[in-house]
Amino acid sequence: MRIVLLLPILLAAFAFVPVRADKPPAKVEVEYTEDGVILKSFTDKLGALAKDGKCLKPEKLKELLAADIVAKLKSAKPNDKAQSPEELAVSLKTSVFVVGSVVKEAEEYADGRMATAWVLGAEGILVTNWHVFDEIGDDESFGVRSATGEVFPVTGILARDKAADIAIFRVDAKGLTPLPVASQASAVANWVGVLGHPGDRYFTFTQGHVTRYTRYKNDDDIMTKWMAIDADYAYGSSGSPVVDRFGNVVGMAALTESIDYPEDGEKAADMVLRKRMVKVRKKADDKVKVAPSSLQMVVKLTVPASELRRVMGAGE
């Protein structure tokens, strides 16, 4: 009887206990990125390295990229501690670089192509897409820039696979912070984050989910494997690491598929346009063609971790 009489009193007391709210966020230190400053410093510093003969010669770089190479490289041990998107957006910056080129014009160097790379090994081993190095010019020199402004020349190619769109290369740097490659695939619907340089918006962080895995034959009739995500990226994002909530690399940004609404008599499959995600410097006489758009969706295709591990020589 006593318990029955006390129960209404206890319920009334708990009704006035406030619900614990999340703690207010700590003070956020906002860092404003100046894209023009980053581009100019990269161009100036890489141009100086090229002038001093520190960069790999274009003809040597072409030679090293002529055939597929599988390396014997190890990844850092995958992380098992989850991070928030806010934490990942900060921590990834130490391992994500601008990769690009300068082109010699008379006695000066101008900016060439721009894309993204990430650190695989502390001793100057980075990864990007194979197509970032495609069609190298005779006066084109390559290098990378860190988030803190250091610029290092590309000095070698360690592994490459054209069909898988992977290039693993070396720069003249030590003590870098590697990102671990995931030991298994990320399931469809899993959260992913991407850090890269879309459209000269350097160090842009986006997030989304894995949407599916797909295979298709490329123009060389080779079967290729891809992981599709819905996190945004654009040209300049080629080579961007796609990470899970633990900060492990589960993919690498490579292509987009633009899906247009099929007009009468056209098949939906014929309306897909695949585009590489590297910024290439245009000539002065290049004209931009603008066509009417019936775009409905842009699918983001990334190189899955299994392909990265295969080219690393670590197996699937």
Give the amino acid at 88.
L
pLDDT in tens, 75-113: 999 999 999 999 999 999 999 999 999 999 988 999 999
259 compared with 1, residue with greater pLDDT: 259
Catalogue all structural domains in the chain, each as residue range(s) with its CATH number: 35-282+292-312 (2.40.10.120)
Res 166 pLDDT > 60: yes
User: pLDDT tier at 269 (50, 70, 90 boundaries)?
Assistant: low
Give the amino acid at 312.
M
Low-confidence winner among 37-46, 59-68, 267-276 (lowest mean pLDDT): 267-276
Percent of the chain predicted with pLDDT > 90 = 76
SS3 (DSSP) at 205: strand
Return the closest-CA partner of residue 249 out of 211, 304, 312.
304
Query: What is the rounded distance in angstroms from the CA atom of residue 208 to the CA atom of residue 250?
Result: 13
Query: What is the rounded distance in angstroms from the CA atom of residue 195 to the CA atom of residue 87?
Result: 12
Beta bridge partners of 149: none
Query: What is the rounded distance in angstroms from the CA atom of residue 172 to the CA atom of residue 159?
Result: 17
pLDDT in tens, 38-55: 999 999 999 999 999 999
110 contacts: CB under 8 Å, gap ≥ 6: 43, 102, 103, 281
Residue 274, Ramachandran bin (φ over 0: left; ψ between -120 and 50: alpha; else beta): beta
Res 308 pLDDT > 60: yes
285 compared with 189, residue with greater pLDDT: 189
Query: What is the rounded distance in angstroms from the CA atom of residue 46 to the CA atom of residue 36?
Result: 15
**Residue 10: per-residue pLDDT:** 47
Query: What is the rounded distance in angstroms from the CA atom of residue 161 to the CA atom of residue 171?
Result: 19
Low-confidence winner among 5-9, 79-83, 110-114, 124-128 (lowest mean pLDDT): 5-9
**Residue 116: per-residue pLDDT:** 98
User: pLDDT tier at 17 (50, 70, 90 boundaries)?
Assistant: very low
* Tokens 């992913």, residue located: 192
Please name the residue ranges forming H helices in the chain: 2-15, 35-51, 58-64, 85-91, 305-312
Mean pLDDT of 226-234: 97
Give the amino acid at 162.
K
Mean pLDDT of 245-265: 89
Q: What does the mean pLDDT of the chain come to?
A: 88
- Vertex 97 angle, CA 95 and 102, to 5°: 160
223 compared with 315, residue with greater pLDDT: 223
Mean pLDDT of 20-24: 57
| Structure-token pair, residue 50 | 């090229």
Res 151 pLDDT > 80: yes
Query: Are 114 and 197 contacting, i.e. CB atoms less than 8 angstroms apart?
Result: yes
Query: Are 246 and 79 contacting, i.e. CB atoms less than 8 angstroms apart?
Result: yes
Low-confidence winner among 11-25, 172-186, 266-280 (lowest mean pLDDT): 11-25
The model's pTM is 0.85
Phi then psi for residue 298, to 5 deg, are: -120, 120
